[in-house]
A and B are shown apart, each in its own frame.
Chain A
Amino acid sequence: MSDARHAILSRIREASLPGRERDATARLRRHRRNLQPECARSSDAELIDVFVRKAEAVQASVVRVAGLEDVPPEVSRYLRHRNLPAHVAVAPHDDLESMDWAAMTITAERRKPLDSDHCGVNRAFCAVAESGTLIMTSGPDSPSTMNFLPETHIAVLKESDIVGAAEDVWDRLRASGRASAGSLPRTVNMITGVSRTGDIEQTIQTGVHGPRHLHIVLVKET
């Protein structure tokens, strides 16, 4: 197998490569941003509105609440509104574990989701206003399957975690010490709306493999 590696690298080096620099690896450490379009540069005041508008444009629903303690009542309201049973799988995240689910007579099971779960709740790492995108990072407090297995996905997001551009996400990951090989989350999911397909006559249909519904509970408290 190392033969193949050697052969491929040799073939590349034999090709004439006109723009070759001495040390291209320096680019890997600089993290220089390329052109940032206007839509990725919302002011702090606009960030939340832009995010909500963009997320709703891709069939997510967004509800704003004042504090984390308001999340279970909102989830309860949402489940009743959608006529779903009061039974959810909840990611084992501190913010979600400390909530009083029982007061809302919701059965909240703190675990990774099962195929039979119709609704899962987890906490977003952050979100990107530019495209209305949620960022979920895998870890002990966030199973990635929560984003895909249940037909209804409820994501809890703090307003202060909304950033303007996709590049801001990478800065946040680096600041949290989780952006170098070896410390990265196994999976970083950028989620923009619901699972969809156009494979039958280009008719847009939702919920083909992942969630049919994405509900974002946006929490004001910082």
Chain B
Amino acid sequence: MASIALENLAHSYLPNPGGNNDFALKEVNHIWEDGRAYALLGPSGCGKTTLLNVISGLLTPTSGRILFGDKDVTASSTAERNIAQVFQFPVVYDTMTVGKNLAFPLRNRGMEAGYVSERVQRIAQMIGLEADLHKKARGLTSDLKQKISLGRGMVRDDVNAILFDEPLTVIDPHLKWELRTQLKSLHREFGHTMIYVTHDQTEALTFAEKVVVMHEGRVVQIGTPKELFETPAHVFVGYFIGSPGMNFIPVSVTGNKAHINGNTIHLHHDYGNPQGDILLGIRPEFVRLSKSDGLPVQINRIQDVGRHKFINATLFDTEINISADEGFEIESDMVKITFDPANMGIFCDDWRLNGKAIDHGNGGTV
């Protein structure tokens, strides 16, 4: 096993890419640390699958290098990279038994029979397929087939990383969390480097220690689930993580004060005097309705979903969402809102600004 480093990596599907927009994957520098679990999160078309295919060697990048440990593998074939991949749709060898499927990568590498069967037993036990070893792979359900694909990757003890390309797409909803859970415990026990591509925030946040959020071919933030939720580095992260996403309100900022329509909001940090498109970001969870304090709003709609009430309101021409607890009583004279000061962020031209008082470490790469 080894760490995987991406150096100035970029990829375009065009033969002669010109501007930045020709690149499906814009320049990225990142080191995937050995033995960690990562998720690549973003909507369809954001470049996450391109990045995954570059790492697995199915695509040769237009520019930049990939290093496994300190070995440059940019030009190496998929087989030489010793990676494993689980695809969106289960890929199993239909005519083989489960056991033969698991043994296949080892046999192809000319391992001796004793080692192969011992290894297959062990992996089957790990992924809970022991009882099915002699069954033909063809008749199995898709969740078992996905386990076989995973097992074929794990069976090699020298595998550098296991890549997952939206592996739960065809799995029944009620089995999804079960597989996710198993995957997580496998990672904990065996410490493979895992990279998991998905467009589903729950899958990404649940699975990964660090989530790489991609947007329009660019990595916009790499952080823990908590960081993505609390201190999104880019408005896209704020919008994409959380349901509903973060509210963004146009303001102007001087020092630790934000101004909107003649009202002043006190901030926890000093932002100097930023120029550009300034937005105040606040999550629906941190907006409170009240009778007397704060900024005036007009309430458009209240939706009770049992455990929450979602309130849609207009604040000086900006639509915002508010999330209130089940027990919260909404009264007709609640026409003001306040923001939880600890959870406000200031964004300039889409990127989060670092306030002066406390440095969050990951935010604000302007």
Partners in one complex: no
